[in-house]
Amino acid sequence: MKIAVVLGTRPEIIKMSPVIKELERRKASFFILHTGQHYSYYLDMVFFKQLSLPKPRYRLDAGSGSHAEETARMLVGIEAALVKEKPDVVLVEGDTNSVFAGALAAAKLGIRVGHVEAGLRSYDRGMPEEINRVLTDHIADYLYAPTPEARKILLGEGIREAKILVTGNTIVDAVYQNRKLAEQEEREPLPFPDGGYLLLTLHRQENVDHWERLANILSGVNRVSRELSLPVVFPVHPRARKRLNEFGLDTGNIHTIEPVDFLQFLRLESGAKLIMTDSGGVQEEACILGIPAVTLRDNTERPETVAVGANILAGAQPEKILEMTKLMLGRKNEWTNPFGDGRAAERIIDSLLEA
């Protein structure tokens, strides 16, 4: 069996890294196609080097643009590579334009599709990611659900049970495999001790592309910092940086830093007292690491984190952000990780090679 791994963004590289390593361990026939959706060094190639992954055989450099432009460029490039390579299966992970383009190009060519992290739903069609994940699930032949809850969602949408396998989430594999490395990793010291700062991440379109919502979030985070006397560390995503400059918004007392690599970010997460984020992956990572999270969104496709008490939704209003942060800081970090035992990649490759 020949397997194509299609990816294009930082989260996909990280979450697919255990799958790629498992393919290598078994000496499977595979190749990586990178769409280039993320193209800055700190959101892209640093992860291949740091996680000891083989270089992509194909790199499309699709870059940024409207959703139509991005997806169209990816479809053309992915189709050409798949026609040349003739893989038996295309593996994609998550909910980006790269994921949908990879799945659609494969399905149109009659190539089977495996969707890692299938069955996540925010039920908010205003999120481009929601459309990508729904369409990819209904194209896929193999749906690797991270939790029993995700499996129930897929069954409820009429997807046949035989297509679905609950594997756990590959982010658990990645965190377990790399946490020790992260602790040993040299990094520029922060002016704050471990447990003495809050961590902030922002990148989603619905938050950073709207002046009022972004301004409200920054106001709320600054208010949290003042009232709780805790500094906030903010690695600024390129998309957020661009909008901050366009809107002329000041981050106030928030301690901004450049984007960091995965091991450095794991270290930042592990040392935080609490994480404020709009990232689905960071919600998972915080839950796995035992760090409370406040999600700066009105919904989440990771409801398991909320159900176990590791996470809470705060939206974008300053008062709510402060209220929810205080609530989470008052909780004991005693939840059980709902995302599996760190063997998701093994189950995924078992299922593929036995197909």
Rounded Cα distance, 259 and 237, in Å = 6
Residue 225, both tokens: 């910092």
**HSE of 26 in the Cβ direction (CA atoms, 13 Å)?**
19
Cβ atoms of residues 316 and 213 within 8 Å: yes
Q: Tell me the DSSP string of 107-146.
A: HHTT-EEEEETTT-----TTSHHHHHHHHHHHH-SEEEES
Residue 107, both tokens: 């399905």
Rounded Cα distance, 32 and 194, in Å = 37
Q: In what helix (H) or strand (E) does residue 286 lie, and over which residues does it extend?
A: helix 280-289
Per-position b or e across 194-216, b if 16+ CB within 10 A of its CB? eeebbbbbbbbebbbeeeebbeb
Q: Sort 184 into a burial class: Cβ within 10 Å, 0-12 / 13-18 / 19+.
A: exposed
Rounded Cα distance, 338 and 341, in Å = 9
Candidates 34, 38, 203, 237; catalytic one: 203
Residue 128, both tokens: 């481009």
Cβ atoms of residues 55 and 82 within 8 Å: no
Query: Quick one: DSSP state of residue 204?
Result: -
Cβ atoms of residues 204 and 170 within 8 Å: no
Asked if 255 is an active-site residue, the reply is no
Per-position b or e across 31-55, b if 16+ CB within 10 A of its CB? bbbbbbbbbeebbbbbbbebbebee
Q: CA distances (Å), 22 to each of 4, 165, 347, in order?
A: 14, 18, 10
Provide the CA 137 distance to its chain's centre, in angstroms: 17
Q: Which residues are catalytic?
A: 203
